[in-house]
Structure 1
């Protein structure tokens, strides 16, 4: 495992003044400042903002034009085909646009590329098939911005093409390189004035639904009834939970229990989730992976069919199938991760950039396993596997390693590649795998310091400060996730009064703790219990990074801390 350093956030502000202005404690004021939320209006919006704080869809360049074209095509009953993507963002985007266009009376169907056969995004065969099927208009979602040649073909075949996407846009000296579509809606356009461009494809689609419903005078309630899908897409595509994204997720989570999608309700049921208490974590680690499992191991159309399904028995069957596919995916991922870790420990422990070749691994799991390797070793990690024609791979990076630029430096070894600083995809010939590993490691300037995991502490807070009102106030900061991390507190020198291991897998540790002043509190630690006891030995002190919580058991409430990280000081 990687080494770890605890770091204290030191961003400055007048915390007492922020606390007074917004009716919160200075502790909460400090956390908000640590999340870079600055200024009276921004802080109030962060704490108490709702749907009224969302931005107008018309701030997106070409939105008006897209709506005008769709309105005309709908009135003329011209066939429209939505082309989505096989991940959770693409599936939710397709769902939103299909439901909306159906609602306004359009002639509409959809196509989702196959991960293995088609690869990412709209391709030539999808375009030719649309032309042969007599489609008049292609509407993309969560893809299309990079498909310059493909869209050129569509235009030559006489199709109207509307692009909605959120991915980065290629540039040259003349600025953005945009496909020759009839309209391009993408907040990353340099001529787009959208206030917060870091939104996912599902939220771009949701904005289009809003504008379309306004144009067709559909009641706003119908638009709000689909809000949860913009939230699922935002969390599932790992967008930063800041600004508009956080508001969408916050409001969307409240509506999960009332969703009109029978399939989504069944999926929550099959995973034993309380539909009225869904968290961003459960979307990211339970619902999202189930919706993604179809696209990974079979077809993403299964997830979309589930969300659209109106028949109880059929929805039940599909939800179970997706859950089982995800369970299978989890087993395959675990197996692949164990093998990848073994390879690194036996052969590549000294490498700064990890390149692991797992020929038997399902290619759709390479990215997940690369992410697990990165977490385990705190090193940039590539996992390669055998594709149909060549070796394919995915990489996941650390903050100090720009993965896409690293691939540019060895591009002569690669058949294809793409990505951004933190993640990448590539393909190469089998005979180049060793050379790829060697050159990446030869060229990197990473140092031992880069492989130390940093744990950022918001406030060093003695347990005496914890109270139920503070815990309730911290709930104002939810939902937590990427870009709005759960606050972390720290205290040194806690005395361990008793400790016991719980759970049939012995993976939970319950401790009775006390501060130097004698304040008692229970602590829960989720880790390998027996390994922890062995590490603890006869020592009875603990330094902890924690989050405060309330434990409810048999109708009784008590304060406790959930221990996220710990150190055992040297004294007995």
Structure 2
């Protein structure tokens, strides 16, 4: 069961259409994405790099770049400590690249997912001390490492934090008491005292803003590092940030740069994954490039992905790209097995009654727990935690639905965890094995999810008769790209449709092709890529159906045809 509803946001669509030379349909799509008023519409349609905010507006940015410029001039050894996911790797690369281009004495370290776990820890600090490091800069982590930072500074290290995660807090007397690390500078737009206007940057974007500010302070040409925007784009999409505000500009701009990138590693990865470079989109980052970059931190070491970004010649780059692709292929296989086992546990046991799913897969590789949790959440539309047996105790990842604040709920039973962190929609945790069942019980007792909350909601932009589906509309919809979280692909609906000649095609038998006819006898070619056998069975029983869809132009052997891609049916 799904709940379909149409966004009914109001505005003078004809007036917006006239002013911006777009159709009223496109005007409505923009309004549905929460874009209101001339300034926002103009920024959405025409925003460029010139419209990005000044990084110096971030709290502590002035202190951070002042310290860094001194350290660079004094030739002090600086170490960038990142994280093992796509955002952490790209942020590490941006800082390393920016600082070394300024003549800084800089190297990098990335925690090992299995050995070190997430974020800054004592072992990483001890390693830095042994190597004679003077200054540590964290990226995509550090905001939750108050104790570790205290330890590092007691040992004489200078520590600068750049992060984009929420600041940890304790509930105190109805309010929040924030636990801010005592670093030499803490740059994080989520600091409650940071007045930076756009809060949703990824870790790489924060790192990029810092390098930009550093270049200005050291009186170097900021244009020299524009190319790093492609890394910001990859990280923004890969870390599933909202494609709104500044993020949209970063991704739009970064995608254009990626099409003609000079980065040997990215070039090789695009080539060996067979991405059509002229049509490169946010989709390819999210589902092709991103998983390959992430696979190294999951199954091997994220340092491999960093090596790819830093590769200086085509031969090394191709070798590393092929490695990452192979790693990702084996990650896919392991994921499929994990999902099958999770589904078996749910279907055959008492978990089916739970509103929050806690699934324990002891033999599963801990690095793919989050992916499996995401897949199970999609299938059952419930907040899902997948736990695995780690070297010490149990580790896990959670993925949530929009109505359930996962991090907030975990804060209510924090005593069960040896470590945890995250945000509304995703979280990571460690706990003792004997607490697994207790966690499952308590997180469900705390939950106030209703049956209604467990129904997937399908948000439709508008009902669109087939007569309005034209080639020029499809073209105009490109103005709204890049699509992704926070700026979803337009979704239309039509009802009372007759299905003609449905058939399953494709070498993997995974495409359902058919025609649809509306009450006015308008016909459209249609395709569906979901559970095709189920859908075909449903079609054979129904006289009329409703579909949600998005239109596209399908070009085959030089001939262009309009078609719709069906997303949901009922």
8 Å contact kept, 1:506–1:528: no
Shift of 1:431: 2.6
Name 2:165's counterpart in structure 1. Answer: 167
**SS at the partner of 1:537?**
helix
Q: CA deviation at 1:175?
A: 5.8
Q: Distance in 2 between matches of 1:159 and 1:410?
A: 34
Report matched runs for 1:275-286 at 5 Å: 275-286=277-288
Structure 2 residue aligned with 1:441: 444
When structure 1 is superposed on structure 2, of 374-383 and 402-411 the one drifting more is: 402-411
Deviation of residue 540 (structure 1)? 4.3
- 8 Å CA contact retained: 2:499, 2:539: no
In the aligned structure 1, how far is the partner of 2:150 from the partner of 2:414? 27
Instruction: Give 1:124's match in structure 2, choosing from 122, 140, 143.
Output: 122
- The verdict on how the C-alpha distance between 1:308 and 1:191 changes in structure 2, with shifts beyond 3 A counting, is same
Q: Tell me by how many angstroms 1:410 deviates.
A: 3.5
| Aligned CA distance change for structure 1 residues 226 and 406 (closer, same or farther; 3 Å) | closer
Q: 1:4 to 1:197 in 2, by over 3 A?
A: same
In 1: Cα distance, 2:144 partner to 2:451 partner: 37
Post-superposition offset of 1:346: 1.0
In the alignment, which of 235, 238, 253 is matched to residue 236 of structure 1? 238
**1-side partners of 2:98 and 2:442: how far apart?**
50
C-alpha distance in 2 between matches for 1:531 and 1:11: 34
- 1:438 Cα deviation (Å)? 2.6
Measure, in 2, the Cα distance between the counterparts of 1:444 and 1:452. 16
The separation in 1 between residues aligned to 2:443 and 2:56, in whole angstroms, is: 45
Shift of 1:520: 1.7
Alignment of 1:149 onto 2:135: no
Pick aligned residue for 1:334 from 310, 332, 336: 336
Q: Name the CA distance, whole Å, in 2 between partners of 1:373 and 1:245.
A: 28
Alpha-carbon distance, 1:374 to partner: 0.7
- For residues 168 and 403 of structure 2, the distance between their equivalents in structure 1, rounded to whole angstroms, comes to 23
Corresponding residue to 1:291 among 284, 290, 293: 293
Deviation at 1:369, TM superposition (A): 0.6
The alignment partner of 1:497 has SS state of strand
Rounded to whole Å, the distance in 2 between the matches of 1:330 and 1:48 is 38
Name the residue aligned to 1:495.
498
- 1: CA distance, partners of 2:227 / 2:454: 45
* Alpha-carbon separation, structure 1, partners of 2:394 and 2:256: 44
Q: Is 1:531 the counterpart of 2:534 in the alignment?
A: yes
- Counterpart for residue 427 of structure 2: 424
Q: Which residue of 2 aligns with 1:96?
A: 94
Provide, for residues 170-202 of structure 1, a one-character-per-residue CA deviation record: whole Å limited to 9, x for no partner.
346796432222211111122222110110110
Which of 49, 70, 81 pairs up with 1:72? 70
Q: CA deviation at 1:286?
A: 0.9
Aligned to 1:20: 18
Distance between the aligned counterparts of 1:128 and 1:210, measured in 2?
30
**Separation of aligned partners in 2, 1:415 and 1:67:** 35
Deviates more, 1:298-307 or 1:119-128: 119-128
Instruction: Give me the whole-angstrom Cα distance separating, in 1, the residues matched to 2:104 and 2:435.
Output: 50
Aligned to 1:343: 345
Q: Which residue number in structure 1 is paired with residue 29 of structure 2?
A: 31
Shift of residue 23, structure 1, vs aligned partner: 1.4
1:367-421 CA-to-partner distances (Å, cap 9, x unmatched) read: 1111111100011111111111212221112222222333334344333333222
- The question of whether the paired residues in 1 share the 8 Å contact of 2:512 and 2:536 is answered with no
1:216 is matched with 218
Match of 2:137 in 1: 139
Q: Distance in 1 between matches of 2:164 and 2:255?
A: 22
Alignment of 1:50-69 (within 5 A): 50-69=48-67
In the TM superposition, 1:176-187 aligns within 5 A as 176-187=178-189
Shift in alpha-carbon separation, 1:290–1:181, aligned structure 2, 3 A = same
User: How has the CA–CA distance of structure 1 residues 171 and 381 changed in structure 2, closer, same or farther, with 3 Å as cutoff?
Assistant: closer
Which residue, out of 541, 545, 562, partners 1:559? 562
The 3-state SS of whatever aligns with 1:349 is: helix
Q: How many residues matched?
A: 565
Partners of 1:184 and 1:410 in 2: CA distance: 28
* Alpha-carbon distance, 1:443 to partner: 3.6
User: Are positions 1:264 and 2:262 aligned together?
Assistant: no
Unaligned runs of 5+ in 2: none
Asked if 1:42 is matched to 2:52, the reply is: no
In the TM superposition, what is the alpha-carbon distance from 1:435 to its structure 2 partner? 2.8
Distance 2:549 2:122 in 1: 52
**Unpaired runs of at least 5, structure 1:** 568-572
Aligned counterparts of 2:183 and 2:359: Cα–Cα separation in 1 = 40
Q: How far apart, CA to CA, are the structure 1 residues paired with 2:260 and 2:526? A: 35
Provide the secondary structure at the position in 1 that maps to 2:353: coil
Question: Residue deviations 1:320-355, cap 9 Å, x none?
Answer: 110000010011001100110111011122222212
Q: Deviations over 1:55-80 (max 9, x none)?
A: 11111122222222211111111111
Which residue of the partner structure matches residue 546 of structure 2?
Answer: 543
Aligned to 2:521: 518
Shift of 1:436: 2.4
Question: Secondary structure of the equivalent of 1:109?
Answer: strand
TM-score, scaled relative to structure 1: 0.96
Tell me the distance in 2 between the aligned counterparts of 1:139 and 1:431: 37
C-alpha RMSD over aligned residues: 1.6
**Secondary structure of the structure 1 residue equivalent to 2:262:** coil
For residues 222 and 248 of structure 1, what CA distance do their matches in structure 2 show?
Answer: 16
CA offsets 1:125-174 (integer angstroms, 9 cap, x no match): 21122122111111111111121121112221111111111111134679
**2:318 is paired with a residue of what secondary structure?**
helix
**Match among 409, 414, 418 for residue 415 of structure 1:** 418
